């Protein structure tokens, strides 16, 4: 397990979780299973919105509540100074950020951390559908 995130955040990459228990583990496993199914069918090469629509469809078929493009206010000094958008929120518990890039960069991880903060949620999944194997582009970010 690696952690190069600021204090208050923890990251688990790919299959590093082993037998470890963490917040919403069963739900994230269902989301990841759906994403793997989508990735196996569509493969790499499409834009993010294609994977977003396919994953939302797959998760809804599995009976999960999915909200796409959810907007959250950003507060500073108790004043709304902007808004932040999450690609997807599942069961009002897990933020899912989808990418279709050659490799995940630090700004992608920073984006999901910002999304979690704006949404006041504790667990996010960052998925890069451009990878040959989705698990290689998967990160779990947890607010501790």
Each residue's pLDDT tens digit in the chain (144 positions)? 345 667 777 776 544 445 566 788 899 999 999 999 999 999 999 999 999 999 999 999 999 999 999 999 999 999 999 999 999 999 999 999 999 999 999 999 999 999 999 999 999 999 999 999 999 999 999 988
| pLDDT value for 32 | 96
pTM: 0.88
Domain locations in the chain? 24-143
Residue carrying structure tokens 């949620």: 121
| Cα–Cα distance measured from residue 5 to residue 26, given in angstroms and rounded to the nearest whole number | 24
| pLDDT value for 19 | 56
| pLDDT value for 1 | 39
> Minimal CA–CA distance to 139: which of 12, 17, 7, 20?
12
Q: 124 near 141, Cβ under 8 Å?
A: yes
| pLDDT value for 2 | 47
Nearby residues of 137 by Cβ (< 8 Å), 6 or more positions away:
99, 103, 104, 127, 128, 129, 130, 131
The CATH number corresponding to 24-143 among 3.40.1350, 3.30.70, 2.60.120, 3.40.50 equals: 3.40.1350
């Amino acid at each position: 397990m690696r952690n190069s995130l600021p204090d208050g955040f923890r990251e688990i990459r790919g299959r590093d979780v082993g037998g470890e228990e963490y917040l919403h583990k069963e739900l994230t496993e269902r989301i990841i299973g759906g994403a793997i199914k989508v990735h196996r069918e569509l493969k790499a090469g499409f834009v993010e919105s294609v994977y977003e629509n396919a994953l939302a469809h797959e998760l809804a078929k599995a009976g999960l509540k999915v909200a796409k493009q959810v907007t959250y206010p950003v507060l500073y000094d108790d004043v709304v100074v902007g808004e932040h958008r999450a690609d997807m929120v599942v069961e009002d518990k897990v933020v899912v950020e989808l990418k279709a890039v050659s490799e995940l960069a630090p700004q992608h991880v920073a984006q999901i951390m910002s999304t979690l903060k704006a949404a006041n949620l504790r667990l996010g999944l960052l998925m890069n559908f451009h990878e040959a194997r989705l698990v290689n582009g998967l990160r779990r970010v947890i607010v501790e």
